[in-house]
Amino acid sequence: MSKILASYIAFWKRAFDFSGRSSRAEYWYAIVGHILASIVLSFFLGILSVVFGDESFIVAAISGLYSLVLLIPSISLGVRRLHDIGFSGLLYLINLTGIGSVVLLILACMKGQPGANKYGMSNDF
């Protein structure tokens, strides 16, 4: 659990850092941390939905704001992950196509390049 927490904290600390590398472990632990945080948020949004009613603007606003806040940090994490396997961060734009998210999922599962590459030293998280 400590690696998940450490990765999730690093995810937020490096939210606007599009340089360097993020190892496969750092990437996936951050994703798991995000999923756990989303579950907790969903639980509280469910309570708010009961308190304020199903048609509550508050629930939709919080959910939308959370998604918006995650946008840039998620992109920067994905770019750093691509750097770790030796690809340009511009490849992240493939996500805008229909099949792009599947391609990025496969790439995110690949082992990073050992040692240094043009994006920096490997990150053994």
Report pLDDT digits (tens) over 5-55. 999 999 999 999 999 999 999 999 999 999 999 999 999 988 888 887 766
d(CA 93, CA 95): 5
Domain ranges of the chain: 2-108
Report pLDDT digits (tens) over 60-95. 888 899 999 999 999 999 999 999 999 999 999 999
Q: What is the pLDDT of residue 54?
A: 63
> CA nearest 94: which of 109, 106, 110, 111?
106
The token duo for 2 is: 């400590």
Determine the residue type at 1.
Answer: M
Q: What is the pLDDT of residue 55?
A: 66
